């Protein structure tokens, strides 16, 4: 029983190494092994020596497994490593940290990289009771994601040649751009017109903070500009004023019709040449007869859709006179094609060139008498005039006070290229003197112009205009003629060489001197008759028809004396004429201060006070050295 109670003590001694295996103490505390030469004693010094002894640690070994991936394409997720990617020969806790390649060791961080770049990973193993700490590094990379295609891109016409797509709301996700990445693509086309295509990545500007996460090299690009789709009113019944410059126009689209850009003018127009919708009236067309005037737009219209167009007359009447003849006992007849507006029986009109008033007695077209006639109608007009003196072909018959005479105008001009039917190859220079054709009308389905005048072109924005170019020009005509804004002008060189067309944008009144004494100091035009040199009979005799209120202008050039040395005198009937004389500076000459008419150049303004008592009556101004 006593031996059994010593077992716990023996276990403790064995653990401390103080008692060898196979030895056991006697029951009285002495060693019972006869081979032992001395007693074993437990002393405190032996215990202290055992607790301070150092344990030698083993070397740890760690390496990345064969087949571990060290490069990937950008996918927006962290590129990280784990214990599953390494082989550890030993033990200890393994951690992974990351830095940008070639940066300092202080840059190592626990967060794994997501973005394109070259990096280094460090795998670290902690020291244990058996194994030493160890770490290894390995370079790895995230490469840009390859974008292979930017196809089926359609951009709505916007008057710009540059279009932008950004990745907001994943607009580029179908091409491989990750949702949330900020990428912006700018496509640069050759022009802004519909039908333009782009097939080269070199003309695509790539931006945004995430753009370098993607590789766009050699990407297939297929982009184009498409038309804006317009909608028509459901009724397909339209009205157009005759004053609209679009004589083939059926319907002018506005901003409410869909996607019209503010500066664009877009018409649904008639392309059927067998149906003329230029003049007032109601016309029926089919969808197949129509097209859009601006190819950057389109409209959903079926070929069998029926469309009606009512052209409303909203213009003031005018007509260029083609023929003039007299009907005995009835009056003077003018024939021509109505250029604009509508004429009615009993209308009071004016021969604008002469300022002469006429009343319409009757209207006839192709032997049929009419109460009225509209634009485009070929007519004969019987008037209350009794004489056709001074009236000539090309003069304008218009509603009274609706047209004025001008010779100074501005126009938007287009110089025809040879492909457009132009006959002039050389540029137009400042001071060019062509012929200008006015009063366009349509006869036998052909456009003609009733009047032609010579004039001079001044180019506003440059020194020359080349064929095919547009320009704003100023025109000085050799004569005053009735004109209005928006009139179309054909420009020719000689009688047959077509140069271009213009539309009148501004009409310039002559300065005050033009009304005072007949000379416009702005354009240099003189509106009257020039009488040069003293007559051989020592007199200048000016015949003036008697027409009350009519003003006549004369430019008179005289010497201070005649050939015999006499000074010329100035004589006229003050009861018949109101006469004012001006010098070259526009100063009024008071003839009462002179015994004679002064030599040099002077302007005479003579206004009639009375009408003729019979046809052919006239009065005179006499400048003569021989009063007798």
Q: Same domain for 598 and 529?
A: yes
Q: What is the largest CA-CA distance in the chain?
A: 194
8-state DSSP, 58: B
CATH number at 481 reads 2.40.30.10
Task: Identify the CA nearest to 61 among candidates 130, 125, 138, 120.
Answer: 125
Q: Within 551-625, where are the H helices?
A: none
Q: Which of 331-340, 350-359, 442-451, 460-469 has the lowest mean pLDDT?
A: 442-451
Q: Same domain for 137 and 151?
A: no
Using DSSP's 3-state secondary structure scheme, residue 265 falls into coil
Domain that holds residue 490: 404-509
How many structural domains comprise the chain? Answer: 7
By the 8 A CB rule, do 164 and 136 touch? no
CATH number at 536 reads 2.60.120
Q: Same domain for 606 and 531?
A: yes
Q: How far apart are the two ends of the chain, measured CA to CA in Å? A: 191
Say if 556 falls within a structural domain.
yes
Sign of CA dihedral 231, 233, 239, 241: negative
Q: Same domain for 408 and 505?
A: yes
pLDDT at 625 > cutoff 70? no
**Taking residues 551-575, what's their average pLDDT?**
75
Say if 39 falls within a structural domain.
yes
pLDDT at 447 > cutoff 50? yes
Tens of pLDDT, residue by residue over 89-101, are 999 999 999 999 9
Q: Same domain for 164 and 240?
A: no
Q: Same domain for 192 and 234?
A: no
Q: Same domain for 552 and 607?
A: yes
Q: Same domain for 593 and 558?
A: yes
Determine the distance from the C-alpha atom of residue 543 to the mean position of all C-alpha atoms in its chain, rounded to a whole number: 59
Q: Same domain for 207 and 255?
A: no
Say if 56 falls within a structural domain.
no
Tens of pLDDT, residue by residue over 575-589, are 999 999 998 888 998
Banded model confidence at residue 40, pLDDT cuts 50, 70, 90: very low
Q: What are phi and psi of 419, to 5 degrees?
A: -65, -25
Q: Same domain for 237 and 197?
A: no
CATH number at 80 reads 2.60.500
Last residue of a domain, one of 127, 143, 159: 143
By the 8 A CB rule, do 91 and 66 touch? no
Tens of pLDDT, residue by residue over 480-538, are 889 988 888 999 998 789 999 999 999 988 888 888 888 888 777 788 888 875 544 56
Last residue of a domain, one of 399, 417, 432: 399
H/E segment holding residue 119: strand 117-125
Q: Give this prediction's pTM.
A: 0.54
For 621, residues 6+ apart whose C-beta sits below 8 A from its C-beta are 541, 542, 544, 554, 570, 571, 572, 577, 579, 604, 606
**Taking residues 153-168, what's their average pLDDT?**
94
Last residue of a domain, one of 383, 399, 415: 399
Say if 526 falls within a structural domain.
yes
For 412, residues 6+ apart whose C-beta sits below 8 A from its C-beta are 470, 471, 472, 502, 503, 505
CA distance 505 to 470: 14
* Size of the chain in residues: 628
Residue 566 is predicted with a pLDDT of 60
Q: Same domain for 210 and 120?
A: no
Q: Same domain for 338 and 276?
A: no
């Amino acid at each position: 029983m006593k031996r059994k109670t010593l077992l716990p003590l023996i276990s403790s001694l064995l653990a401390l190494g103080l008692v060898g295996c196979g030895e056991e103490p006697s029951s009285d505390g002495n060693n019972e092994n006869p081979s032992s030469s001395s007693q074993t004693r437990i002393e405190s010094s032996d215990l202290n020596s055992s607790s301070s002894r150092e344990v030698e640690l083993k070397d740890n070994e760690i390496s990345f497994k064969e087949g571990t991936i060290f490069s990937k394409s950008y996918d927006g997720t962290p590129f990280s490593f784990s214990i599953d990617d390494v082989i550890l020969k030993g033990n200890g806790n393994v951690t992974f940290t990351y830095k940008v390649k070639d940066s300092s060791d202080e840059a190592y961080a626990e967060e794994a990289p997501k973005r394109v770049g070259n990096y280094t990973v460090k795998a670290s193993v902690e020291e244990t009771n058996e194994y030493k700490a160890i770490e290894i590094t390995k370079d790895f990379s995230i490469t840009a994601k390859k974008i292979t295609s930017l196809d089926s891109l359609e951009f709505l016409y916007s008057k710009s040649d540059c279009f932008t797509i950004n990745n907001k709301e994943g607009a580029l996700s179908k091409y491989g751009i990750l949702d949330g990445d900020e990428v912006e693509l700018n496509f640069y086309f050759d022009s802004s017109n519909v039908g333009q295509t782009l097939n080269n990545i070199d003309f695509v500007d790539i931006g945004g903070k995430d753009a370098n996460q993607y590789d766009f090299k050699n990407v297939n690009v297929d982009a184009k500009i498409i038309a804006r789709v317009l909608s028509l009113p459901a009724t397909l019944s339209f009205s157009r004023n005759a004053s609209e410059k679009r004589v083939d126009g059926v319907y002018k689209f506005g901003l409410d019709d869909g996607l019209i850009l503010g500066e664009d003018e877009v018409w649904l127009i008639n392309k059927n040449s067998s149906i003329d919708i230029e003049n007032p009236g109601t016309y029926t067309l089919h969808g197949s007869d129509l097209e859009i005037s601006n190819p950057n737009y389109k409209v959903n219209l079926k070929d069998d859709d029926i469309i009606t167009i009512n052209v409303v007359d909203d213009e003031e009447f005018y007509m260029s006179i083609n023929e003039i003849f007299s009907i005995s006992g009835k009056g003077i007849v003018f024939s021509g094609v109505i250029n604009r507006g509508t004429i009615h029986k009993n209308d009071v009109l004016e021969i604008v060139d002469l300022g002469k008033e006429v009343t319409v007695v009757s209207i006839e077209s192709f032997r049929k008498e009419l109460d009225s006639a509209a634009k485009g109608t070929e007519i004969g007009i019987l008037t209350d005039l009794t004489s056709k003196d001074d009236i000539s072909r090309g003069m304008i018959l218009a509603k009274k006070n609706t047209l004025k005479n001008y010779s100074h105008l501005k126009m938007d001009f287009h110089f025809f290229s040879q492909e457009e039917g132009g006959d002039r190859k050389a540029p137009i220079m400042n001071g060019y003197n062509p012929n200008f054709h006015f009063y366009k009308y349509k006869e036998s389905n052909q456009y003609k112009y009733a009047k032609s005048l010579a004039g001079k072109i001044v180019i506003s924005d440059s020194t020359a205009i080349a064929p095919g170019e547009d320009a704003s020009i100023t025109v000085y005509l050799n004569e005053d003629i009735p004109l209005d804004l928006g009139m179309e002008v054909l420009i020719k060189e000689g009688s047959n060489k077509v140069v271009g067309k213009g539309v009148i944008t501004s009409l310039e009144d002559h300065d005050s001197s033009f009304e005072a004494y007949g000379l416009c100091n702005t354009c240099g035009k003189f509106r009257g008759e020039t009488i040069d040199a003293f007559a051989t009979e020592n007199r200048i005799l000016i015949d003036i028809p008697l027409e009350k209120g009519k003003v006549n202008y004369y430019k008179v050039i005289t010497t201070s004396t005649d050939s015999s040395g006499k000074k010329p005198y100035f004589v006229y009937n003050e009861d018949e004429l109101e006469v004012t004389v001006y010098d070259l500076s526009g100063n009024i000459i008071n003839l009462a201060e002179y015994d004679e008419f002064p030599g040099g150049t002077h302007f005479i303004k003579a206004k009639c006070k009375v009408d003729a008592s019979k046809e052919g009556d006239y009065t005179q101004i006499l400048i003569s050295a021989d009063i007798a």
